[in-house]
Amino acid sequence: MSKHLRIHVSCPDDRGLLASVASRIFDLGGDLGDASFALLGEQAEMTCVASFPENVTEDQLRDALCTLSAVQKGGEVTVKPFRLGRAHVSNGTATHVVRVHGVDRPGLMARLAECFGELGANIVRMDAEHAERELGTDYKMRFEVHIPSERIEACLANVSNTAEAMGLHFHAEEAETG
């Protein structure tokens, strides 16, 4: 029998960090499931779900991850039971990838996320990044979304029109399946 744990590591970025976290999980008998790793400025963030043998405790895993040098330099580790299913529901698989970019201003992400929701789309993954330029700050957003087949055209038009009205560039394509 195994149990599923949600693991979150937040710490200053360090070369080899992802490999170190994955190795600690493996050393304790863990099997990684869904995982996400990203840099947020100079800070690394990793969130994942892993299966562990019943005899591995949350404290054991937390203690093992807290020995990592990057975590010891001001990081945080959270380990909690993951009680929801690990398999993706039907609207948890992206049908489209939407990229929007342009000059940053408050409310961009909120408005675009609302556009998807208004037409029943589910945001499966979102990444955003600031890019400093001479003329200001660009904001790049990448959404992986599940759009119900009967609403694809309307949803993409809604997001495109909103992006255009905000002076942003818009690009959408079907997500790769496989």
**DSSP E strands, the chain:** 2-12, 31-40, 43-53, 76-81, 96-103, 122-133, 136-146, 169-174
Q: Which domains does the chain have, with CATH numbers?
A: 2-81 (3.30.70.260), 90-174 (3.30.70.260)
For 98-142, the pLDDT digits (tens) are: 999 999 888 889 999 999 999 999 999 999 998 887 777 889 999
How far, in Å, CA of 111 to CA of 106, rounded? 10
Q: CA angle 162-112-109, nearest 5°? A: 130
* pTM greater than 0.75 (yes/no): yes
Task: Return per-residue pLDDT of the chain as tens, 178 residues.
Answer: 689 999 999 999 998 999 999 999 999 999 999 899 999 888 999 999 999 999 999 999 999 999 999 999 999 999 999 987 666 666 678 999 999 999 988 888 999 999 999 999 999 999 999 888 777 788 999 999 999 999 999 999 999 999 999 999 999 999 987 5
**Tell me, what's the pLDDT at 89?**
61
Positions of E strands within 13-64: 31-40, 43-53
